[in-house]
Amino acid sequence: MDPQVSVLIVDDSSIVRQVLARELSRQPGIRVVGTAPDPFVARDMILQHKPDVVTLDIEMPRMDGLTFLRKLMKYYPIPVIVVSSLAAKGREMAIACLEAGAIDVVAKPNESYSIGDVAARLAETIRGATRVKLKRIEQPVAAGPQAERSVALAETTHKIVALGASTGGTEALRAVLQALPKQSPGIVMTQHMPEGFTAAFAQRLNSLCQVEVKEAKDRDWVVPGRALLAPGAHHLKLDRDGARYIVRVVDGPRVNRHKPSVDVLFESVARVAGKNAFGAIMTGMGNDGAAGLLSMRKAGAVTVAQDEASCVVYGMPKEAVKLGGAQLVAPLSGIAGHLLAFAQGSLAAKAA
């Protein structure tokens, strides 16, 4: 039997601390070792109890969660899960927390997200956190004229790129997108992220990349130089409108416990784009996207899985490799290169 994962809860609300402690204590394999009302108390409790995982609120008195997270990652690296409300004020800060090293952001309960949903999602992330490799994700050079590449890409809507990621994926997606020139093939992508955070994440990427990055709206065109991100709490699918590729933003049940789901996106790309597609599955817990990547490969697409050494969590790529969905396995730093080779026609899909 696996040992229990010890957790410290950090939140300035006594009610949130009590509820989270109660609900997490009911989850198999999880032991709450304490709760702290602010980072100063949390610092002492971390040294005393040495928890496996910390859950952290963002907005707290005396020291905000982002500042505390940065200090932890510098002096005492430990898996941290941000547990935040979806207040507009907190969204950009939550994105910054992911960039600073948080392994995930989980929404606090609201009218559409019950405490049971929160506890189940949080428990799954906590259990997987023990497999997280705490390291700095490679930082690509900033976008701008100096990052321009000499690669000449044909402006065509015939080639499609599909990207899927979860834990650690915010930085992985940034690394790939920042390495791409402005006229790259149209990109569709799913990152496991709560409703309300995807728009801020897309805006952040858009400010850093040469390609345009935006949260997808239903019937948006997929065109060269644009990357469309699945909005939280909705699935993203590729479709056609005459000769053009478009996306459909749809509701529906969770797939592999996720909405948006990478499998939903990849399956639609396999069906609609076939051999004209490139798919990459990157760091994340679980198996979402593995079956969809296999469907893409069977349809003739070029498919890539991020390698174990460069993943924050080697879960989704591992399952894709085991299932036979990955034609290639590559480090994070090599995925953009494979994508550009595909765009130029120099990387063709092999028979499944």
- Range name among 87-91, 110-114, 220-224, 315-319 with the lowest pLDDT average: 87-91
Catalytic residue, candidates 11, 52, 84, 192:
192
Q: Which DSSP category does 75 fall into?
A: H
Q: CB within 8 A of 187, min separation 6: which ones?
A: 160, 161, 162, 163, 177, 211, 222, 226, 227, 228
Whether residue 342 is predicted with pLDDT greater than 80 in this model: the reply is yes
pLDDT of residue 155: 37
Residue range 130-137: mean pLDDT, rounded? 67
Distance between CA atoms of residues 100 and 303, nearest Å = 29
Q: How confident is the model at residue 86 (pLDDT cuts 50, 70, 90)?
A: low
pLDDT of residue 150: 30
pLDDT of residue 142: 42
Main-chain dihedrals φ then ψ at residue 32, nearest 5 degrees: -85, 115
Q: CB within 8 A of 41, min separation 6: which ones?
A: none
Whether residue 84 is predicted with pLDDT greater than 70 in this model: the reply is yes
Residue range 184-191: mean pLDDT, rounded? 97
Main-chain dihedrals φ then ψ at residue 200, nearest 5 degrees: -65, -40
Distance between CA atoms of residues 272 and 114, nearest Å = 36
Catalytic residue, candidates 85, 166, 261, 295:
166
- To the nearest whole percent, how much of the chain has pLDDT over 70? 89
Q: Identify whether 158 is a catalytic site residue.
A: no
Query: Beta strands of the chain (E only): which ranges?
Result: 5-10, 30-36, 53-56, 80-84, 104-107, 160-165, 186-191, 212-215, 226-229, 235-241, 244-250, 277-281, 302-306, 328-330
Q: Who wins on pLDDT, 209 or 74? A: 209
Using one digit for the tens of pLDDT, what is the confidence trace for 57-71? Answer: 988 888 989 999 999
Residue range 12-40: mean pLDDT, rounded? 94
Using one digit for the tens of pLDDT, what is the confidence trace for 47-56? Answer: 999 999 999 9
pLDDT of residue 111: 62
Residue range 25-47: mean pLDDT, rounded? 95
Using one digit for the tens of pLDDT, what is the confidence trace for 226-261? Answer: 999 999 999 999 999 988 999 999 999 999 989 999
Q: CB within 8 A of 179, min separation 6: which ones?
A: 140, 336, 337
Locate CATH 3.40.50.2300 in the chain: 5-129
Using one digit for the tens of pLDDT, what is the confidence trace for 280-292? Answer: 999 999 999 999 9
Reference 136, options 103, 101, 169, 167; nearest CA is 101
Reference 179, options 335, 308, 329, 304; nearest CA is 335
Q: How confident is the model at residue 154 (pLDDT cuts 50, 70, 90)?
A: very low
Catalytic residue, candidates 288, 295, 307, 310:
288
- The predicted model scores a pTM of 0.82
Q: How confident is the model at residue 1 (pLDDT cuts 50, 70, 90)?
A: very low
Q: Who wins on pLDDT, 184 or 146? A: 184
- To the nearest whole percent, how much of the chain has pLDDT over 90? 69
Residue position matching structure tokens 């952290």: 56
Residue 197 in contact with residue 211, Cβ under 8 Å? no
pLDDT of residue 277: 97
pLDDT of residue 10: 97
Q: Identify whether 338 is a catalytic site residue.
A: no
Q: Which CATH superfamily is domain 145-343 in?
A: Methylesterase CheB, C-terminal domain (3.40.50.180)
Residue range 264-273: mean pLDDT, rounded? 97
Whether residue 145 is predicted with pLDDT greater than 50 in this model: the reply is no
pLDDT of residue 158: 79
Residue position matching structure tokens 């051999």: 275
Tokens of 61: 């008195």
Tokens of 55: 């859950």
pLDDT of residue 141: 41
User: What's the whole-number average pLDDT of the chain?
Assistant: 88
Distance between CA atoms of residues 222 and 237, nearest Å = 11
Using one digit for the tens of pLDDT, what is the confidence trace for 87-124? Answer: 445 677 778 888 888 988 887 876 656 787 788 888 98
User: Between the CA atoms of 90, 96, 98 and 101, what dihedral angle is there, to the nearest 10 degrees?
Assistant: -130
Whether residue 156 is predicted with pLDDT greater than 70 in this model: the reply is no
Whether residue 152 is predicted with pLDDT greater than 50 in this model: the reply is no
- Range name among 67-81, 120-134, 208-222, 255-269 with the lowest pLDDT average: 120-134
Q: Identify whether 192 is a catalytic site residue.
A: yes
Where b means 16+ CB within 10 Å and e means fewer, 224-258 reads bbbbbbbbbbbbbbbbeeeeebbbbbeeeeebbeb
pLDDT of residue 33: 97
CATH of domain 5-129: 3.40.50.2300
Distance between CA atoms of residues 129 and 45, nearest Å = 19
Residue 329 in contact with residue 321, Cβ under 8 Å? yes
Tokens of 125: 């992330």
Which ranges of 253-315 does DSSP label H, i.e. alpha helix? 262-272, 290-298
Locate CATH 3.40.50.180 in the chain: 145-343
